[in-house]
């Protein structure tokens, strides 16, 4: 899966500008799916038809990533920008970002801040794209950029920007690849705009009207120095979500994931995430309510340009979803 993960994480796709990543995922799933469509808001939906009278199931991973958007270009050609999703100033300084056409921006801090030990405020940051004035600046108000950082593997640890949530996309693609037979009608949703509004998953789920929905996304961990206490660690198995700040997972979906993991001897962890949520929070509120849960890939340094996951959690995530989909 490493080549697939590399391709997914290195592709451009901030929320609202998912054209390039959608094309990459489409090329992967087109030969595997029975049906493929792009929803009105841009989410890609690949359907695998069931060969029995099973349930209608949505598996969702969001294909957008966090980024920045240009708000203003000054007379010397420096750009100011705002966040797309949960971007923190501390992770921006010195970072490179790339626009859809490949233009690179370097993020700097206003020089008037004398005390270098202070974390800058977001509005003290600017972007340098190498322009000399406003007229030759290649980027314009409203243009979106994503962080740049190559994929690297070190032992079983995989490090890249946009593991959130391209690693979920990789899990869905690999699950579809290995799923020869299922009694269920399974819809693999690669959703747009999770990082901003959860809108892609919400509208695609409405259109599909499923019996059950599972989001696959990343979660933070409690296994780094002085981290907030949390019972999730890298390499201890995918995490079955119990609760996050946007939802309580449906008990039957949570129990289904736990039961299948135990039956198959797949390691898993239980996740209570105190800050943050996923597409599952939106999916469970569609129509009269959809029993929804979330399978999380533990990830360190979420929403920085160097997010880290463990390869074994990714593989075990695929195996657990296959157990769910293969059984009645
Ligand atoms: Zn995120």
Say how many Å lie between the CA of residue 257 and the centre of ligand 1. Answer: 22
Active site residue 194: yes
Note the pLDDT of residue 26. 98
Give the model's confidence band at 123: pLDDT under 50 very low, under 70 low, under 90 confident, else very high.
Answer: very high
Gap from CA of 183 to ligand 1 centroid (Å): 32
Q: How far is ligand 1, taken at its centre, from the CA of residue 13, in Å?
A: 13
Tell me what the mean pLDDT of segment 30-44 comes to: 97
Tell me which of 18, 65, 194, 195 is the catalytic residue.
Answer: 194
Q: Is the pLDDT of residue 18 over 70?
A: yes
Tokens of residue 19, six digits: 């054209």
Statement: residue 9 has pLDDT above 80: yes
- Tens-place pLDDT, residues 271-297: 999 999 999 999 999 999 999 999 999
Distance between Cα 198 and ligand 1 center (Å): 10
Predicted pLDDT at 114: 65
Whether the pTM exceeds 0.85: the reply is: yes
What stretches of the chain adopt beta strand conformation (E)? Answer: 35-38, 44-48, 56-62, 67-73, 79-84, 96-99, 104-109, 125-128, 144-147, 152-154, 157-160, 185-191, 212-219, 239-244, 247-248, 269-272, 292-298, 307-310
């Amino acid at each position: 899966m490493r080549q697939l993960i590399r391709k997914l994480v290195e592709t451009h796709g901030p929320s609202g500008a998912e054209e390039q990543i959608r094309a990459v995922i489409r090329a992967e799933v087109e030969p595997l799916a029975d049906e493929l469509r792009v929803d009105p808001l841009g989410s890609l939906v690949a359907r695998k038809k069931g060969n029995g009278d099973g349930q209608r199931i949505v598996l969702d991973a969001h294909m957008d990533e966090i980024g920045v958007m240009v708000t203003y270009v000054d007379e010397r050609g420096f750009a100011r920008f705002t966040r797309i999703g949960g971007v923190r100033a501390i992770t921006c300084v010195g970072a490179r970002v790339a626009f859809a056409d490949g233009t690179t921006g370097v993020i700097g801090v206003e020089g008037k801040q004398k005390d270098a030990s202070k974390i800058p405020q977001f509005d003290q940051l600017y972007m340098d794209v190498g322009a000399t004035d406003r007229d030759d600046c290649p980027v314009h108000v409203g243009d979106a950029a994503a962080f740049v950082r190559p994929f690297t593997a070190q032992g079983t640890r995989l490090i890249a920007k946009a593991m959130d949530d391209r690693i979920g996309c990789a899990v869905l693609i690999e699950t579809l690849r290995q799923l020869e037979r299922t009694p269920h009608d399974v819809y693999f949703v690669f959703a747009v705009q999770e990082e901003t509004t959860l809108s892609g998953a919400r509208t695609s789920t409405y259109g599909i009207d499923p019996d059950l929905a599972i989001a696959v996304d990343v979660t933070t961990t409690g296994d780094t120095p002085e981290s907030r206490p949390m019972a999730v660690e890298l390499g201890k198995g995918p995490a079955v979500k119990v609760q996050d700040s946007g939802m309580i997972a449906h008990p039957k979906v949570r129990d289904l994931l736990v039961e299948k993991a135990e039956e198959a001897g797949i390691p898993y962890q239980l996740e209570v995430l105190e800050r943050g949520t996923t597409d599952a929070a939106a999916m469970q509120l569609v129509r009269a309510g959809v029993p929804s849960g979330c399978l999380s890939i533990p990830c360190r340094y979420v929403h920085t340009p160097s997010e880290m996951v463990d390869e074994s959690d990714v593989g075990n995530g695929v195996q657990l979803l296959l157990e769910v989909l293969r059984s009645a």
